[in-house]
Amino acid sequence: MSDATRTAEAINLPLPDPSWRDRWSGAEGGYVVLDLGDQPPADLFPLPDDPTPDPEHPLRMVIGTGTGLVQLETDPTTPQEPRGVEPAALVAQAEAAVAQAEAAGFVRPGTRVLEYPSPHGGSWVDQLAARDMVEVSEGEAELLVDIFGMMHDADQKAALLERAGHLTDDGVLLMQYHTVAAIVRSGIWNALRHGHFAYYSTPALVEMGKEVGLVAVGAWEYPLYGGTVMLAFAKEGSRFGAQTADVTAMVERELAEGITDPAYVATLGTALSESVAAIEEYLRGTTAEGLVVAGYGAASRTSALLRSAHIEKEQVVAVADASVAKHGRTMPGNRIPIVSPADLVGLRPDRVLLFVPDLLDEVRKALPEIEANGGRWVVLDPMPREVEPVA
């Protein structure tokens, strides 16, 4: 019995559904480390007159004891058409990542690039085209780019093998992911959502690469989403050589934090309880004061937070979003209306709950009227934190 298994059993972590199998190895053996109960699909935005109740499904996070891969237990949902708008923070991070990949020699003019973008946005096509790379959609490529893409594949081994199959002998696969280390470290329990089948720690992803003949030859970290990592993979025997020291250092750091220990990852459950209690208390206070409260960011992580904190239309009158396609729709379950940023200003809210912390600088710049009218932004990261108004 491994130390991780012994620790998990000692604190009585639940076992996953008997039909669950590890999304990398196909083996049994795992523990439920986070349970959000029944949740609506995160990409469901019903029209106001759509039939109720909205569908809900179990949403639980499991860690495989053999692989250390943190993953979605089950997902009976059907993906909806994505309607998101790329935030400025994501665009800025893309610019930084491509520049660093270029400095490392992975981005070279005239070479072929094949991209696996996330359905939620984050494409690097513009940045790569500006560096005279040639975008392809099939065959081999000298550069493969995966921006939060592979986490949407239910069969993780098939997905990584498919990517490796497109690499030339000296090609490079750049993978960007929201590291589990940051999710657990910051208590970002609402990162869990339907449609996201895998949540990578660096140790787990490096080992997955090794199993399919890929070596991690570069690592970079960014503040996006509280901790985003980009790993560079090359084929064994390529001109890029063996695993690099920066990769090894990142692996060792995350292992030292305990990221493969089910008991440590299960501290997300404590974060869930504490943040929900704090949000509920905060909204009781705003209701008692008679304040008008709205929200900003009908993002994939918003539904679970609203549902878990039992937030209704009486507490939050509307959620604004930059995506025109979401305007006139509602959040699932509570049917809080989704409005435009201009409509948000028109509501003259006293408080605006910001469901995506990375948007703070962008929305304050775009909507100065919120604070000019006496309102305040409240960042949910996921604990509520009022932001002092601009002097």
Kindly report, residue by residue over 358-391, the tens digit of the pLDDT.
Answer: 999 999 999 999 999 999 999 998 999 999 987 6
Note the pLDDT of residue 84: 62
Alpha-helical regions (H) of 63-193: 88-103, 125-129, 156-164, 180-185
pLDDT band at residue 32, thresholds of 50, 70 and 90? very high
Query: Please, what is the average pLDDT of the chain?
Result: 93
Percentage above 70 pLDDT, the chain: 94
For the segment 152-158, the average pLDDT, to the nearest whole number, is 96
For the segment 310-324, the average pLDDT, to the nearest whole number, is 96
Supply 69's token pair.
Answer: 């891969």
Rounded to a whole number of angstroms, the CA Rg of the chain reads 21
pLDDT band at residue 2, thresholds of 50, 70 and 90? low
- Tell me the C-alpha distance between 242 and 246, whole Å: 12
Residue 214 neighbours by CB distance under 10 Å: 26
296: enclosing H helix or E strand: strand 293-296
Alpha-carbon distance values, 365 to 147, 173, 368 (Å): 27, 36, 6
pLDDT band at residue 80, thresholds of 50, 70 and 90? low
* Residue partners of 11: CB distance under 8 A and separation at least 6: 263, 266
Note the pLDDT of residue 6: 52
Q: Does the pLDDT at position 123 exceed 90?
A: no
- Global pTM exceeds 0.75: yes
Q: Which residue do the tokens 């959000």 mark?
A: 36
Supply 316's token pair.
Answer: 């939050």
304 neighbors 42 (Cβ within 8 angstroms): yes
Q: Which residue do the tokens 């943190």 mark?
A: 70
- Tell me the C-alpha distance between 166 and 155, whole Å: 18
| Most distant CA pair in the chain, distance | 66
pLDDT band at residue 274, thresholds of 50, 70 and 90? very high
Q: In this structure, what is the dihedral angle of CA atoms 296, 302, 305, 306, given to the nearest 10 degrees?
A: 70
Could you report the per-residue pLDDT of 258-273, keeping only the tens digit for each? 999 999 999 999 999 9
Note the pLDDT of residue 340: 98
- Tell me the C-alpha distance between 361 and 366, whole Å: 9
Q: Does the pLDDT at position 9 exceed 80?
A: no
Note the pLDDT of residue 383: 94
Q: 119: cis peptide before it, omega within 30°?
A: no
Looking at the DSSP bridge assignments, the partners of residue 45 are none
Closest by Cα among 332, 343, 344, 303 to 47: 332
Q: Does the pLDDT at position 36 exceed 80?
A: yes
Q: In this structure, what is the dihedral angle of CA atoms 196, 199, 205, 211, given to the nearest 10 degrees?
A: -50
- Tell me the C-alpha distance between 239 and 345, whole Å: 55
For the segment 302-314, the average pLDDT, to the nearest whole number, is 94
- Tell me the C-alpha distance between 356 and 184, whole Å: 17
Looking at the DSSP bridge assignments, the partners of residue 174 are 145, 232
208 neighbors 158 (Cβ within 8 angstroms): no
Note the pLDDT of residue 7: 59
- Tell me the C-alpha distance between 323 and 82, whole Å: 10
Q: Does the pLDDT at position 302 exceed 90?
A: yes
pLDDT band at residue 78, thresholds of 50, 70 and 90? low
271 neighbors 331 (Cβ within 8 angstroms): no
What is the DSSP code (8-state) at residue 79?
Answer: P
- Tell me the C-alpha distance between 351 and 346, whole Å: 13
Note the pLDDT of residue 79: 61
Q: Are strands 376-380 and 141-147 parallel, antiparallel or unpaired?
A: unpaired
Note the pLDDT of residue 117: 78
Note the pLDDT of residue 75: 87
Note the pLDDT of residue 5: 57
Supply 132's token pair.
Answer: 């005279």
- Tell me the C-alpha distance between 126 and 375, whole Å: 37
